[in-house]
Amino acid sequence: MTSTTDPVRADRDNQKLGGPDATSKPRVHRRGALEYVAWAACALVAFGVIRTLLTNENYQWDVVAQYVTAETVLRGLVMTVVLTILCMTFGALLGLFVAVLRVSPLRPVRILAGAYVTFFRGTPVLVQLIFWFNIAALYPNLAIGIPFTDVSQDIDVNRLISATTAAVIGLSLNQAAYQAEIFRGGFASVDKGQIEAADSLGMSRGTKLRRIIVPQSMPTIVPATGNQFIGMFKETSLVSVLGVGELLMSVQLIYARTYQTIPLLIVACLWYLFMTLLLSYPQSQIEKKFSRTRARVSNDPAPGLTQTELMGEAK
Amino acid sequence: MSQMNGEGTVHARGLRKSFGDRVVLDSIDLDVACGEIVCIIGPSGSGKSTLLRCIDGLEEIDRGVLRVNGEDLGFRETPTSYQALKRKEVAAQRTRIGMVFQSFNLFPNMTAQENVMSGPVLVKGAPKAESRRRADALLTSVGLHGHGDHYPWQLSGGQQQRVAIARSLAMDPQVMLFDEPTSALDPERVGEVLAVMKDLAQRGMTMLIATHEMGFAREVADTVIFMDGGLVVEQGKPADVLGNPQEPRTCKFLESVL
């Protein structure tokens, strides 16, 4: 037997027998049996779901089709969209304010802002909504006036806080607490060196916040806020308990009359799903854009792997 | 004005700084005259960065005297104590001290030109058009003519550090501090930054430089300070400290880096 130091030697022999050169052989991964099992199980579940959707007459798809573009339903949808936009706008603005208070140099201000967040995140939003709706029981009369003068105007709180106002106040205040946490997380993500550089130039707190911290925390804030927006869209269904005529309330009004509960709930679900899918496209675009900016914003070189690649198994 | 006398000077007496139980600077005495170039050398963790950060007011000292540009930094001396200055007053003192960081710390949301303009416009409220012209001139002086509209991520490390120097200079500081300005750079980019600093030194700027570049220290410094364990071990002319060190610790350090 002739000894050799060439590790490819064995393959040269193989090549003589007609096999491929070792340098050009493809690298193959065998698909595991588990994957086939998973596909089979998946197909089985899908088959079952589709079969019951089509064969169970209680779904009453004809009723669904009849009501999906009914005027009452569409009016409810518009109300849902308006509520979402209003509450997100107020929530984001108030949330930014609370977040700024939470990084205040004054301890009592920080404590107050922290208490706000703790309270509104620590109690169910449904309870908060009902609370706002019944606020008149707590403060029956609101006196708006100019302090230290006789000029004042009594307002009947029961009339001031209609169901819709209670809904907007309740959802906005709750949203503000979550939004404040998002802003705070964003502020915390700004590199410490950036703050030091700004301090070193003698920048005031306000300028630092407006020109350095807020712009640089946008890559973390904007995608998270987008998710909140989608969440808020569904959360507005809660205000149906106050009798606000949004999407869920609209279908409830119909099925209270016709007793076609299931098909009308499906109508509502279809609209929620449609709108959520509609919003998730810009959301994914925003996330993509800001994950790029994120890399640029930091001093470090851009990361090579995206989240999905990291989550996936090694190839 | 009395403080005019002290412009461009740094004086420390018995300066002490600790983080919790760890004393990082112990009884530091330092005298830097106007226009003097001081290079601070020493191993990592010797306290050179902390000393510069104290002089820039990024860290508050525990005890001792620290006078920069002839004024007590961040505090006002009273017969019994040092009273902390208002935020605004500290900020005003800081505008007269320039700091260049190891990791550049350019604002990534601004172009090179906007970075250089940021101090004059956002802090001093200078008119934008004039600041823009000034920023372009400063960028040209650090060899970055035509790079004004580049964002930091589009620039190499050496270019970013030169923008950072220009940003500090835009505030017309009387003292410039450099915290290991070339330590984060690729070896072939070190020279361009050192050249800018050398140029600045020749124009009479007071400079305190924490550095590992012994060749630069030997060539440019008026005074070299060797620090170890939070103490100034040895200081003097570069030829003496680097060429003929008296302390065994200095000898050991120089042997390991040269």
The model's pLDDT over B159-201, given as tens digits with 9 standing for 90+, comes to 999 999 999 999 999 999 999 999 999 988 999 999 999 999 9
**Residue A299 to residue B152, Cβ atoms within 8 A:** yes
Amino acid B194: pLDDT: 94
User: Which of A199, A201, A211 to probe the B interface (max B CBs under 10 A)?
Assistant: A201
Amino acid A196: pLDDT: 95
| C-alpha angle B193-B219-B34 in degrees, rounded to nearest 5 | 85
The three-state (H, E, C) secondary structure of chain B, written as one string:
CHHHHHCCCEEEEEEEEEECCEEEEEEEEEEECCCCEEEEECCCCCCHHHHHHHHCCCCCCCEEEEEECCEECCEEECCCCEEECCHHHHHHHHHCEEEECCCCCCCCCCCHHHHHHHHHHHHCCCCHHHHHHHHHHHHHHCCCCCCCCCCHHHCCHHHHHHHHHHHHHCCCCCEEEEECCCCCCCHHHHHHHHHHHHHHHHCCCEEEEECCCHHHHHHHCCEEEEEECCEEEEEECHHHHHHCCCCHHHHHHHHHHC
Q: B119 to chain A, minimum CA–CA distance in Å?
A: 6
Sequence-ordered list of residues with C-beta below 8 angstroms from that of B148, at least 6 positions apart, any chain: B111, B112, B113, B116, B135, B136, B139
The model's pLDDT over A44-102, given as tens digits with 9 standing for 90+, comes to 999 999 999 999 988 899 999 999 998 999 999 999 999 999 999 999 999 999 999 99
**Residue B108 to residue A200, Cβ atoms within 8 A:** no
Residue ranges of alpha helices (H) inside A236-260 are 247-258
**Residue A193 to residue B103, Cβ atoms within 8 A:** yes
Amino acid B175: pLDDT: 96
Residues of B in contact with A196 (CB under 8 A): 58, 99, 101, 105
3-state secondary structure (DSSP) of residue A145: strand
Confidence of residue B1 (pLDDT cuts 50, 70, 90): very low
Across the range B217-245, mean pLDDT stands at 93
Confidence of residue B219 (pLDDT cuts 50, 70, 90): very high
Across the range B98-118, mean pLDDT stands at 95
Residues of A in contact with B123 (CB under 8 A): 201-204, 207
Low-confidence ranges of chain A (pLDDT < 70): 1-17, 145, 152, 292-315
What interface predicted TM-score (ipTM) does this complex get? 0.91
Across the range B201-217, mean pLDDT stands at 93
Residues of B in contact with A191 (CB under 8 A): 105
Sequence-ordered list of residues with C-beta below 8 angstroms from that of A313, at least 6 positions apart, any chain: none
Cβ-nearest to A216 among B97, B109, B122: B109
Sequence-ordered list of residues with C-beta below 8 angstroms from that of B18, at least 6 positions apart, any chain: B24, B25, B62
pLDDT of B232 above 50: yes
Looking at chain A, the number of H-run helices and the number of E-run strands are: 15, 2
Tokens of A137: 């029981």
Tokens of B217: 């220290």
Cβ-nearest to A197 among B91, B105, B153: B105
Amino acid B258: pLDDT: 72
Amino acid A306: pLDDT: 40
Distances (CA, A) of A138 to A118, A237, B10: 22, 25, 63
- Is the dihedral angle over the CA atoms A45, A47, A48, A54 positive or is it negative? positive
Cβ-nearest to A196 among B58, B97, B119: B58
Q: How far is it, in rounded angstroms, from Cα A287 to Cα A230?
A: 14
Q: CB pairs below 8 Å between A and B: how many?
A: 76
DSSP one-letter string for A48-114:
HHHHHHHH-GGG-HHHHHHHTT-HHHHHHHHHHHHHHHHHHHHHHHHHHHHHHHHT-SSHHHHHHHH
pLDDT of B220 above 50: yes
Q: Are A286 and A222 in contact (CB under 8 A)?
A: yes
What region does B25 belong to: left with phi over 0, alpha with psi -120 to 50, or beta?
Answer: beta
pTM of the model: 0.80
Q: How far is it, in rounded angstroms, from Cα A245 to Cα A252?
A: 10
Q: A214 to chain B, minimum CA–CA distance in Å?
A: 10
Amino acid B2: pLDDT: 40
User: Which of B75, B61, B242, B99 has its CA nearest to residue B176?
Assistant: B99
Place of tokens 């929620």: A272
The model's pLDDT over B87-104, given as tens digits with 9 standing for 90+, comes to 899 999 999 999 999 999
Between B184 and B2, the higher pLDDT residue: B184
Give residues 257 to 276 of A whose Cβ lies within 8 Å of B. none
Cβ-nearest to A216 among B92, B108, B153: B108
Residues of B in contact with A206 (CB under 8 A): none
Across the range B221-244, mean pLDDT stands at 93
